[in-house]
Every structure is written in structure tokens, then in C-alpha cells.
Amino acid sequence: MKDNVLMRVAARWNMPFLIIFALYTQTHGELGPGGGFQAGVMIAAAFIVYGMVFGAADMQRIVPRWLTDILAALGVLIYAGTGIYCLTQGYAFLDYTAIIPSNPGGAEPWGMVSVEWGVGITVASVMMTIFNEITEGTLPGQEHESHDTEMVGKA
């Protein structure tokens, strides 16, 4: 699809808007419709569209696979970490009151924002990982990393 001007321009010019809207959805999640899941999917969509037009190898230059692997885990860790932080402050797991004990109502959004960022990061990286897995081996010059040649054990 790289040869098609329309596709190239559309993919390139849509990217900032997709990302901006994703960030809006992400940061606005606790007040309006949206949240980490939707934002994560949109961020991933921005990169995946780019990858579909310019090839997954190009996309992986921007977002390498080791990065998505780490971010996928990191997002959940942010989520769980928020819970654990509350727990260490003497409150229950994920009881956001712990963040600002004097103002539980004000603490709630902060807790939600931090949890939603975790969700967003994980969803975005997992979506990209799925895309990478699907395209793996279908691109010229990018062989599927073979596991079968290195048989292990004493079979």
C-alpha cells in the first residue's frame, strides 16, 4: 500500500489526530465517556494504520517489540501498584482515599486517572503486539523466528 499516495497521506496525517483524541479520551475518562481501554485502542490504531500502510517493519522501528512487551506488563503494574500504594497507606487495596486522606472525594479522580493510564498503556501495547504477531512472517525479509529447529531436551 506504500505506493498509493492517498493511503500514505491519510495514514501520516491521521496519526496526530488519532493520538490527540486518544489522549483526550484517556485524560477525560473519569469525567465523561471514555477511559483507558478506548484510548489505548486508539493509540494502537494510530500506529497500526501506519504499520499497515508502510509495513510492520517500519512501525517496529518506532515502537520496537521489546518496548511493547515491557509496556504491556508495565501498565498492569501501574494498576496494581496504585492498589498496593493504597494498601501500604493502611487502607484497603485500591481504596483511593489513601491518595489524599483529608479529601476522599478529591482523591477518587486521581486514583482513577492513575489506574486508567495503566489500562491505556497495556491495551495499546497488547493491540500492537497482536498486530505484530499477525504480520510476523508475512513480510518479505522478515522470517518467522523458528522454534522448531532448536529442539530441546532428549526427544
Partner 1 sequence: MELIHKNLPALIVVLPLCMGLLTSIIGRRGLGWWMAMATTGAVFAMSGQLLWNVMHDGAYQITYQMGSWPAPFGIVYIVDPLNASVLMVVSTIAAVLTLYARKSVASEIQKNRLHFFYALWLFCTTGLLGITITGDAFNLYVLLEISSLSTYTLVALGRARNRRALTAAINYLVLGSIGANFYLLGIAYLYQVTGSLNMADIHHILVNQVFPTWGGDAPQYRTTVIVGFAFMAVGLSLKLALFPLHGWLPNAYTYSPSAVSGLLASTATKVGAYAFIRVIFTIVGVDFAFGLLHTDTALMVSAGAAIIIGAWLALKQTNLKKMLAYSSIGQIGYITLGFSLNNVNGLTASIIHLFNHALTKGSMFMALGVVVYRLGNARITDVRGLGRQLPVTMGVFVVGGLGLIGVPLTAGFISKWYLVTGAIQAGRYEMAAVVLVGSILALMYVWRVVEQIYFGKRDENAPKLREAPLTMLVPMVLLAAASIYFGIDARATSWVSQTAAELLLGVKL
Backbone angles phi, psi at 133, to 5 degrees: -65, -40
In the set 5, 6, 13, 88, which binds partner 1 (CB under 8 A)?
A: 88
Cell of 18: 488519532
Interaction between residue 151 and partner 1 (CB under 8 A): yes
Residues 5 and 138: their CA atoms lie apart, in Å, by: 23
How much of the chain is in helix, strand and coil states, percent to nearest 5? Answer: 70, 0, 30
Cell of 132: 505484530
Nearer to partner 1, 88 or 138 (CB): 88
Interaction between residue 96 and partner 1 (CB under 8 A): yes
Q: Which uninterrupted H or E stretch holds 83?
A: helix 65-88
Interaction between residue 112 and partner 1 (CB under 8 A): no
**Closest CB 141 distance from partner 1, rounded Å:** 21
Amino acid at 10: A
Residues 40-79 that bind partner 1 (CB under 8 A): 69-70, 73-74, 76-77
Count residues contacting partner 1 (CB under 8 A)?
A: 28
The footprint of partner 1 (CB under 8 A) covers 69-70, 73-74, 76-77, 80-81, 83-84, 87-88, 90-97, 104, 147, 150-155
